[in-house]
Structure 1
Amino acid sequence: MTENKNTTKALDKGVYIVHSDDLKTTPEITFNYNSDKKTIEDDVKKENKFCGAATDTLGHYLILVILGLASWGLLWCAFGEEWSWNGRWFKPAVVAAIAFAAGEFLQMTTSLPPLLAAILTGITARNVGYLDMREYTELDSFMRKIYPVIILGKGSLGWNLSYMKKNWQQVAALGVLPWTAEVATMAVCMNLLLGYPWLWGCLLGSIYASVSCPVLMPTVVKLTAGKNLARNWPQLICTAGGTDTALSVGVFGVLHSFIMYDGDDAYRYIRAACALLLGVVVGVSWGSVAKFLPRCRDPYVTELRVLFVVVGGLFANFLTSQYGWGGTGGIAVLACNATAAKHWAKDGWRLNNNPASTAYRVMWSAVEPALFAYTGTFFVMRSSISKVMFLGFGILVICLAVRLTVSFLVCSNLQLRERLFVCCAWVPKSIVEAVLCPVAINALLSRGQYDAQTMEYAEHLMRMTVQAILVTTPIGYLLTSQLGPILLKENSKVVKESEA
Structure 2
Amino acid sequence: MEYKNGTSILDKGVYIIRNEEFKTMNEDDSLLARAVRRQNIIMKGQETPEITLNYNPEKNPIKDGIVKKTKDICRAKTPTILHYFTLLVLGLGTWGLLWCAFGEDWNWNGRWTRLAFVGGLAWAAGEAFQMCTSLPPLLAALVIGILARNFEFLDMREYTEIDAFLRRIYPVIILGKGSLAFDFKYIKKHWRLVSSLGVLPWTAEVLTLAVCMHVFLDFPWMWGLLLGSTYASVSFAVVMPAVQNSSGSSGNLSQNWNQLILTAGGTDTALSVGVFGVIHSFIMHEGDDTYRYIKAALALLVGVVVGVSWGTLAKFIPHSKDFYVAEMRLLFVLIGGLFTFFLSAKFGWGGTGGVAVLACNSTAANCWEKDGWKLNKNPASTAYRVMWSTLEPLVFAYSGTFFVIKAPLWNVMLIGLGILCICVVVRLTIAFFVCSKMTIRERFFVCCTWIPKSIVEAVLCPVAYNALVARGNYDENEMQYAEHFIWIIIQAILVTTPIGFLLTKHLGPFLLTEKQKKYDIDPET
Do they superpose with TM above 0.5?
yes
Residue 462 of structure 2 is aligned to residue 438 of structure 1: yes
C-alpha displacement of 1:52: 3.1
What fraction of aligned residue pairs are identical, expressed as a percent?
65
Encode CA deviations 1:232-284: one digit per residue, 9 max, x unaligned: 00000000000000000000000000000011000000000000000000000
* CA RMSD after TM alignment: 1.4
Structural mapping, 1:415-430, within 5 Å: 415-430=439-454
Check whether the contact 1:228–1:495 (CA below 8 A) recurs between aligned residues. Answer: no
Check whether the contact 2:254–2:521 (CA below 8 A) recurs between aligned residues. Answer: no
The residue number in structure 2 matching 1:131 is: 154
Check whether the contact 1:229–1:491 (CA below 8 A) recurs between aligned residues. Answer: no
Residue 301 of structure 2 is aligned to residue 285 of structure 1: no
Structural mapping, 1:35-434, within 5 Å: 50-225=73-248, 227-434=251-458
C-alpha displacement of 1:48: 5.9
C-alpha displacement of 1:219: 1.4
Check whether the contact 2:254–2:520 (CA below 8 A) recurs between aligned residues. Answer: no
TM-score by length of 1: 0.89
- State the distance in 2 between where 1:320 and 1:358 align: 27
Relative contact order: is structure 1 or structure 2 higher (C-alpha 8 Å, sep ≥ 6)? 1
- State the distance in 1 between where 2:520 and 2:270 align: 39
Residues 1:203 and 1:171: Cα distance change in structure 2 (over 3 Å): same
C-alpha displacement of 1:46: 6.7
Check whether the contact 1:212–1:430 (CA below 8 A) recurs between aligned residues. Answer: yes
Residues 1:422 and 1:73: Cα distance change in structure 2 (over 3 Å): same
SS at match of 2:373: coil
The residue number in structure 2 matching 1:31 is: none
C-alpha displacement of 1:188: 0.5
Check whether the contact 1:283–1:331 (CA below 8 A) recurs between aligned residues. Answer: yes
SS at match of 1:225: helix
Structure 1 counterpart of 2:323, one-letter code? P
Check whether the contact 1:250–1:331 (CA below 8 A) recurs between aligned residues. Answer: yes
SS at match of 2:402: coil
Residues 1:299 and 1:410: Cα distance change in structure 2 (over 3 Å): same
Encode CA deviations 1:275-327: one digit per residue, 9 max, x unaligned: 00000000000000000000011110000000001111000101100110011
Structure 2 counterpart of 1:115, one-letter code? L
Segments of 5+ residues of structure 2 without an aligned counterpart are 1-67
SS at match of 1:95: helix
Check whether the contact 1:171–1:240 (CA below 8 A) recurs between aligned residues. Answer: yes
- State the distance in 1 between where 2:422 and 2:85 align: 46
Which of 366-375 and 72-81 deviates more? 72-81
- State the distance in 2 between where 1:228 and 1:424 align: 17
Encode CA deviations 1:163-182: one digit per residue, 9 max, x unaligned: 00100000011100000000
Check whether the contact 2:252–2:512 (CA below 8 A) recurs between aligned residues. Answer: no
- State the distance in 2 between where 1:49 and 1:214 align: 34
SS at match of 1:428: coil
Check whether the contact 1:122–1:372 (CA below 8 A) recurs between aligned residues. Answer: yes
Encode CA deviations 1:135-188: one digit per residue, 9 max, x unaligned: 000000000000000000000000001100100000011100000000000010
Q: Tell me which of 479, 488, 492 is aligned to 2:512.
A: 488
C-alpha displacement of 1:189: 0.4
TM-score by length of 2: 0.85
C-alpha displacement of 1:53: 2.9
Segments of 5+ residues of structure 1 without an aligned counterpart are 1-44
Check whether the contact 1:228–1:494 (CA below 8 A) recurs between aligned residues. Answer: no
- State the distance in 1 between where 2:490 and 2:236 align: 17
Encode CA deviations 1:72-106: one digit per residue, 9 max, x unaligned: 11111111111111111111100000000100000
C-alpha displacement of 1:51: 2.8
Check whether the contact 2:253–2:521 (CA below 8 A) recurs between aligned residues. Answer: no
Which of 56-65 and 269-278 deviates more? 56-65
Residues 1:414 and 1:48: Cα distance change in structure 2 (over 3 Å): farther
C-alpha displacement of 1:225: 2.6
Which of 229-238 and 52-61 deviates more? 52-61
Aligned residues: 454
Residues 1:495 and 1:261: Cα distance change in structure 2 (over 3 Å): closer
The residue number in structure 1 matching 2:15 is: none
- State the distance in 2 between where 1:287 and 1:84 align: 44
